[in-house]
Structure 1
Amino acid sequence: MKFYGLKTCDTCRKAFKALTAAGHAPDYVDVRADGVSADSLSVFLDAFGAEALINRKSTTWRGLDDAERAQDPLTLLQANPTLMKRPVIETDTGRYLGWGKDVQDVLL
């Protein structure tokens, strides 16, 4: 299991703690400190779509100008990995976005 999140994100901390308590041993990838490969971002964009993957409510998004916001989603996420909605969790059986009840029901 691979867990993409931010160490400073409350939702990511709750999700990681719950997964660990449930017996999983996720490999934590801090999107700010470690970065996310272009290949992984492409896979996430294919799996979830740009509308779901890009967090347009974030302070990072609000700090971008119109030209930056108009960039190709892959380019935008490579330059600003914290724009990615979190967490993204990869398992052998699938990929999951966020930490809603639907994701918790599958993974816990």
Structure 2
Amino acid sequence: MKTGKQDMLKVYGIKNCDTMKKAIAWLDAHEVIYEFIDYKKAGVVQNHLPDWNRRAGWQRLLNTKGMMWKRLSDEERTDVDESRALALMTDYPTLIKRPVADTGGTLLIGFDDERYAQELKRGHP
């Protein structure tokens, strides 16, 4: 993990996720200073999910293509609205798309190297 200024990029996710590994490799290769925060740790999702939902919307946050979504019961996956989605993501943090990268101004959901380059390489050679 790289460290630096107080308002550095915060990258939330799960270390063993392939998408996370790609994002971290990109950040390291481009010398972007960041702090990694595992959102499986107690309190992370509860403390940040309301803000992420406000800034990005639950539809962008909810990962309906991953293994955890497939493991849910049909009842849990039926008629998902904002309230239900937030409750599911709180109960099962792996339902949140990874990574969630917070620049302080912009929230980047998932990994897209072009979007990362556009949003994060400002001021970097």
Match of 1:96, SS? strand
**Aligned pairs for 1:97-108 within 5 A:** 97-100=109-112, 101-108=114-121
- TM-score (norm: length of structure 1): 0.85
User: Is residue 10 from structure 1 mapped to residue 35 from structure 2 by the alignment?
Assistant: no
* Partners of 2:117 and 2:99 in 1: CA distance: 12
Letter in 2 for 1:62: K
Unaligned runs of 5+ in 2: 1-8
Query: Which consecutive aligned stretches of 4+ in structure 1 deviate over 6 angstroms post-superposition?
Result: none
Cα offset for 1:107? 1.2
Cα separation, partners in 2 of 1:11 and 1:104, compared to 1, 3 Å? farther
Q: CA RMSD in A?
A: 1.8
**Can you list the C-alpha shifts for 1:44-86, whole angstroms capped at 9, x where unaligned?**
1112212111010111001111332346222111100000011
Identity %: 33
**Aligned pairs for 1:36-75 within 5 A:** 36-69=44-77, 70=80, 72-75=84-87
- TM-score (norm: length of structure 2): 0.75
